[in-house]
Structure 1
Amino acid sequence: MKLSILMPVFNEQHRLEEALKQALDVRYPCEIELVVVDDGSTDRTGEILRGATDARLRPIFHPANRGKGAAIKTAVAEATGEYMVILDADLEYDPNDIPRLLAPVLDGQAEVVYGNRVFGSHSSFSFWYVMGNKGVTTAANMLYNCYLSDLETCFKLMPVALYRSLEIRSRGFGMEAEVTGKLLRRRVRPYEVAITYHARTREEGKKITWRDGVQALWILLRERLRRPPAAATTTAVPA
């Protein structure tokens, strides 16, 4: 099995080198590639990427900023692995958790695995950010009659072919809700694994806002009301 780690990047010159080092230093239980999409950065991000020499790193460049969803779409199109996981470059997530996400897949227990963040005073910069995340996740649970713990997690591991089949249209942060809504509509219930998390502050570059939460709610409702495809995938994670 080969895992494609997909990293969307926008103006992360202060964190990118460390993010790349952390991702590539992990001892993975399978072959990996790190597909990094520079989404039109205007700082030294592109220069840092062009100077990287690890053979597992595949840099791709957008000429202008198009949003996280668009960067992931580009990365997925270029991925050569059977499975994929998204890893942001902001150092909020620990790539050492990725082997733990892989374990249920390698053991044959799951096809889709989400990293479940445990929020605490040391790991979240804002009460309202956590409540917003819980509100969006609760809405998904009510709309789709499921029990997810963390819809907005960056760590979503699944087959590359499955992600491509979802045909994600959202260009920005709304892609997180769209991915989950489309999976749940197909009766795919993600397996959840606890992960570590440390949120950065607005001053450190946190980009998501309350508007993204409102958009996520709209996307979840839209996908719930959408007529299902003629031949929907119904494979679910065993209980």
Structure 2
Amino acid sequence: MEDDVVRSGSALQPDGGGIVAMTDDSREIAPDEVCILIPTLNEAATIGDVIEGFYDEGYTNVVVIDGDSSDETREIARDHGAEVIVQSGSGKGQAVREALEYITVPYVLMLDGDGTYDPADADRMIEPLSRGYEHVIGNRFADMDDDAMRALNGFGNRVINRAFGFVHGANYEDILSGYRAFTVDSFERLSLDSDGFTIETELAVECVKHGIETTVVPISYSARPEESETNLHPVKDGGTILLALYSLAKTNNPLFYFGSLGVTGIVSGGLIAMYVLWEWIQYQQSHEVIALVSAAAIILGVQLLMFGVLSDMLVTLHREQRRRLERIARDEPEE
């Protein structure tokens, strides 16, 4: 499986993989056109080896944006020749958005600094950008070390990926992967608000929402070195990611978002109404207040369902209009 491709915003969205042909005007991307972006927080044990790994692959433009590490991450990164930026805020999402303001080359290869991603996969990640894709996701499950991910983490990742496919209608296989390659131009078209580790989730949703040409490529994923500590908490962070997926559906899939709330209101109101009716039939007891609550829940549910349908129509029209404008812009002759 060389490429499992998903073309966001188009009719070509295979759910099981396959190759989608792009334009033939591809060109080789030079290493000096690529910025290696590494967000870090207390990665002193691994950051030096990660930077040297990219130098060995020919990529010398390395930017480390550090979240005010309490260890020697920044010093080690500078000693290895990387440009180091101390982020003004906190969280990986904020770090990535801030770092992009300093990048002057057209392509970015982003990864964590914990030594789990292999710099040798850099060319594989960058190559689809030369064929017209705008965002590339590295699929960790394609070649993962046996001890690279705990069973709970693996189960949670698969649940989140399936939830993403169901809610947002695209199969990106590994939306939580921290190994990403993208064009600066496509990144600037995204509306990113996440400050924390949910940035990968938001990137995936925004790619679907804005029709960013996205592909998935297999990568290797290694176990985190023993001396490097993780900043993630599987249960808490997994719940936060699922909540983010649902919340982001508000603008990307409003029919699902408002429809699910509406169905919940209708079902809840219906169950309460059945209880009131049962009490009246069996014991001749009336529950006027509860009956009013039931009616209000059903009416609110119906309204939310209708609002979801209308919102979905507006989103669909907006996407069609945007695609028309993009086609006009592409077809317009240069002066």
TM-score (norm 2): 0.62
Unpaired runs of 5+ residues, structure 2, are: 1-28, 253-314, 327-335
Which structure 1 residue ranges, 4+ long, deviate > 3 Å from structure 2? 201-204, 227-235
1:20-43: CA deviations, max 9, x gaps?
111222135xxx621111210111
SS in 2 for 1:196: strand
Return the offset for 1:203.
7.0
Aligned partners of 1:222 and 1:8: how far apart in 2? 25
Q: After superposition, where does 1:227-238 map in structure 2 within 5 Å? A: 228=315
Aligned partners of 2:77 and 2:145: how far apart in 1? 34
SS in 1 for 2:101: helix
Aligned partners of 1:139 and 1:120: how far apart in 2? 22
SS in 2 for 1:158: strand
- Tell me the residue number matched to 1:35: 63
Aligned partners of 2:145 and 2:185: how far apart in 1? 38
Counterpart of 1:45 (choices 46, 65, 73) is 73
SS in 2 for 1:218: helix
1:57-79: CA deviations, max 9, x gaps?
3211136x711111111211111
1:124 paired to 2:148: yes
1:217 paired to 2:242: yes
1:184 paired to 2:190: no
1:9 paired to 2:40: yes
Alignment root-mean-square deviation, CA: 2.5
Aligned partners of 1:139 and 1:196: how far apart in 2? 24
Aligned partners of 2:155 and 2:104: how far apart in 1? 37
SS in 1 for 2:224: coil
Amino acid at match of 1:131: F
8 Å Cα contact 1:35-1:59 kept in structure 2? yes
1:161 paired to 2:191: no
Counterpart of 2:137 (choices 114, 119, 130) is 114
Unpaired runs of 5+ residues, structure 1, are: none
8 Å Cα contact 1:8-1:39 kept in structure 2? yes
Aligned partners of 2:68 and 2:74: how far apart in 1? 8
1:172 paired to 2:196: yes
- Tell me the residue number matched to 1:75: 99
Percent of aligned pairs with the same amino acid: 26
Task: Choose 141-150 or 198-207, whichever is displaced more.
Answer: 198-207
- Tell me the residue number matched to 1:96: 120
Aligned partners of 2:95 and 2:109: how far apart in 1? 13
8 Å Cα contact 1:5-1:85 kept in structure 2? yes
SS in 2 for 1:93: coil
Change (3 A) 1:20 1:138: same
Aligned partners of 2:97 and 2:174: how far apart in 1? 22
Return the offset for 1:152.
0.4
TM-score (norm 1): 0.85
Return the offset for 1:189.
5.3
Q: Which has the larger radius of gyration?
A: 2
Aligned partners of 1:189 and 1:211: how far apart in 2? 31
Aligned partners of 1:202 and 1:208: how far apart in 2? 15
